[in-house]
Amino acid sequence: MITKCCNFRAILKIKEKKLTKISGVGGFVPAEKLTNADLEKMVDTNDEWIRTRTGIVERRILKTPGKATSDLGAEAVKDLLAKTNTDIAEIDLIICATVTPDMFFPSTSNLISHKVGGGEIPSFDIAAACSGFIYALQTGRQFIEAGTYKKVIVVGADKMSAITDYTDRNTCILFGDGAGAVLLEASDDDCGVKDIRIYSNGIGAETLYQKAGGSLNPASMETVKNREHFIYQDGKSVFKVAVKKMADVAAEIMERNNLTGDDVKWLVPHQANKRIIDATARRMNVTEDKVMINIQKYGNTTAATIPLCLWDWQDQLKKGENIVLAAFGGGYTWGGAYIKWAYS
Nearer to ligand COA, 51 or 150 (CB): 51
Binding site for ligand COA (CB under 6 A): 45, 49, 53-54, 130, 169-170, 173, 208, 235-236, 238-239, 242, 272-273, 276, 300, 328-329
Burial class of residue 124 (count of CB atoms within 10 Å of its CB; 0-12, 13-18, 19+): middle
- C-alpha distances in angstroms, 177 versus 112, 185, 235, 303, 337? 16, 27, 20, 10, 24
Q: Least CB distance from residue 271 to ligand COA, whole Å?
A: 9
Q: Is 191 left (phi over 0), alpha (psi -120 to 50) or beta?
A: beta
Handedness of CA 229, 70, 298, 47 (dihedral sign): negative
Of the pair 143, 230, the CB lying nearest ligand COA is at 230
| Cα-Cα end-to-end distance for the chain | 47
Which residues are annotated as catalytic?
130, 270, 300
Residue 244 CB, shortest distance to ligand COA, in Å, is: 11
CB of 79 or CB of 158, closer to ligand COA: 158
Task: Report the C-alpha gap between 136 and 134 in whole angstroms.
Answer: 5
Q: Closer CB to ligand COA, residue 65 or residue 202?
A: 202
Q: Which is nearer to ligand COA, 191 or 276 (CB)?
A: 276
Shortest separation between residue 195's beta carbon and ligand COA, angstroms: 23
Q: Report in angstroms how near the CB of residue 279 gets to ligand COA at its nearest.
A: 11
Least gap, CB of 329 to ligand COA (angstroms)? 4
CA angle 315, 319, 322 (to 5 degrees): 100
Are residues 311 and 155 in contact, defined by beta-carbon separation less than 8 angstroms?
no
Rounded Cα–Cα distance for residues 342 and 328 (Å) = 25
Q: What is the dihedral of CA 210, 325, 307, 128, to 10 degrees?
A: -20
Answer for the pair 57, 297: CB distance below 8 angstroms, yes or no.
yes
